Amino acid sequence: KGYNYGIVGLGVMGRNLLYNIADNGFSVAGFDLDEEKVKQLHSDATSEMQMKGTGSLEEFVTTLETPRKIILMVPAGRPVDAVLDNISCLLSKGDIVIDAGNSYFKDTDRRISGMASKGLHFMGIGVSGGEKGARTGPSIMPGGDAEAFSLLQPMLEAIAAKVDGEACTAYMGKGSAGNYVKMVHNGIEYAIMQLISEAYDLLKRGANLTNNELYEVFREWNNGEMNSFLIEITRDIFKQKDDLTDHDLLDQILDKAGAKGTGKWTSEQAMEIGVSIPTIDIAVTSRILSAYKDERIQASELYAEKEINTPENKELFIREVGEALYLSTLISYAQGLALLIKASEEYDFGIPLKDVVKIWRGGCIIRSLLLEKFYSAYSENPELTNILLDKDISELVKSKIKSLRKTAAFAVSNGISSLGIQTALGYFDAYTTKSLPVNLIQAQRDYFGAHTYQRIDREGVFHTIWNSTNQ
């Protein structure tokens, strides 16, 4: 009998996932063209693991039990297609290929049909938690063929992170739903990271906090209701010393943010299917703006440094920034979840929102205590179209909104850019406004383009010949 699972791609993520699967009593074979990686796989393995690595694709495929279950841990994009091109002719009907990278969901749809025409199953699964998560328990978002999924389920549940004894993995829906959910996870990840960076800036430039003080603030935040993975690692970052100089490492890092594309896809998707996710959009575009460092330097000289009026009551300010961060984070989740709801309808994914928030509670990058509250909300009402409409969540929001407004006002009046905080607040204010001023936009559209409008007092579509008052 052959090995239970195969992994293609033995970079750090592939290797760690392989060890995790092997630790849970499954036998696993690994393949990588790079002999060094194969060697390293063997040298870091423990003697209890039933595993083997190889640099030969043929050998790899023949050592697997059938139906084969092969997990791809290769970079998204062309490398996935390259592996499929090479491997599919070696596979047999009914074999399952599982792409565990951050693949674009439309690529997954295309690959599902391509592989199906050869009698093979293809699935896209989202895996979150970074290197450590892959090794010790990630959050896993599988989607696609339900029958193929049921073959993988016991292994996925074994290797996933656990919260209250429950595995952080569940079926996310049909087709490319797994990749879609992971994409939105990453969009939310971008938004929260943006918001945390703004809170850092407000505390640093606004209230002159040192890295040591910031460490204490984040430590306290992480010990309370704001407990989350991203707050936790931010806390640690403030303590890290640089190996090359005697400064704190954070202060030596260039302020140009990278991005691999999942955040951008989330924004593009939201635009495509008509969902408003401005805090995620702003997080994507803020990373883009950060790259224009030379221009920013020029502009900062041209417009000179702004003077900052530090808050009189530092303690109060820190508390308000914390509450603003908490609430704007909540609003970012609300936007991402609203996108998932719409996408589920649009693409007929059948995404179970309750399970999404459940499996995000552990293992993944956006895990947080807040997700417990969302889980309760969706358990009570699985049809909830926006988390802000939940009664308990609304009480929570109301208790923090004043701090969000005060923090946003402080940032604006002191010229500290806080695009994430502002858009979270702006989204909240628009979403909770009964009558928006877009009646005027409709009037303008009809004025110059005869685009018509609807009325508040009668059914139908109307057009007016608007009077010009030009003299």
Q: Is 102 annotated as a binding residue?
A: yes
**Per the structure block, which two tokens stand in for 95?**
């074999």
Q: How far apart are CA 186 and CA 277, in angstroms?
A: 13
Task: Work out how close the CB of 368 gets to ligand 6PG at its nearest, in angstroms, rounded to a whole number.
Answer: 13
Q: Decide whether 233 or 389 has the Cβ nearer to ligand 6PG.
A: 233
Residue whose C-beta lies closest to ligand 6PG: 128
**Residue 138 or residue 322: which is nearer to ligand 6PG going by CB?**
138
Residue 162 tokens, joined: 């656990």
Question: Was 413 annotated as part of a binding site?
Answer: no
Q: How far is the CB of 114 from ligand 6PG (least distance, A)?
A: 24
Confirm or deny that 263 is annotated as ligand binding.
no
Residue 35 CA to residue 39 CA, distance in Å, equals 6
List the catalytic residue out of 52, 174, 182, 400: 182
130 in a known ligand binding site: yes
Whichever of 27 and 266 has its CB closer to ligand 6PG, that residue is 266
Residue 336 Cβ, how far from ligand 6PG at the closest point, in Å?
13
Strands 51-54 and 28-31: parallel
Contacts of 249 by beta carbon, 8 Å cutoff, 6+ apart: 237, 240, 241, 242, 243
Nearer to ligand 6PG, 260 or 455 (CB): 260
Closer to ligand 6PG by Cβ: residue 53 or 263: 263
Catalytic, out of 37, 52, 69, 189: 189
Is 189 annotated in the active site? yes
Q: Is 187 annotated as a binding residue?
A: no
Give the nearer residue to ligand 6PG in terms of CB position, either 27 or 128. Answer: 128
Q: Report the nearest approach of ligand 6PG to the CB of residue 293 (Å).
A: 18
Farthest CA pair distance, the chain: 91
Smallest CA-to-CA distance from 336 within 265, 285, 395 is with 265
* 88 belongs to an annotated ligand binding site: no
Minimum Å gap between C-beta 139 and ligand 6PG is 8
What does the binding site for ligand 6PG look like in residue numbers (CB under 6 A)? 102, 128-130, 186, 189, 258-260, 262-263, 364-365
What's the distance, CA 387 to chain centroid? 17
Dihedral (Cα; 73, 74, 76, 77), 10-degree rounding: -140
Query: Sign of the CA dihedral 175, 113, 70, 63?
Result: positive
Tokens found for residue 278: 């401005």
Cβ proximity of 98 and 70 under 8 Å? yes
Q: Answer yes or no: are the C-beta atoms of 51 and 167 closer than 8 Å.
A: no
Q: Single out the residue of 67, 133, 66 nearest to residue 100, CA to CA.
A: 133
Q: Is 113 exposed, middle or buried (0-12, 13-18, 19+ CB in 10 A)?
A: exposed
Q: What tokens does 443 get?
A: 């009037």
**Residue 458 assigned ligand-binding role:** no
Q: How far is the CB of 192 from ligand 6PG (least distance, A)?
A: 11
Please say whether the beta carbons of 87 and 57 come within 8 A: yes
Q: List, by residue number, the catalytic residues.
A: 182, 189
Q: Which residues are annotated as a binding site?
A: 102, 128-130, 185-186, 190, 260, 287, 445, 451
Q: Which residues are annotated as a binding site for substrate?
A: 102, 128-130, 185-186, 190, 260, 287, 445, 451
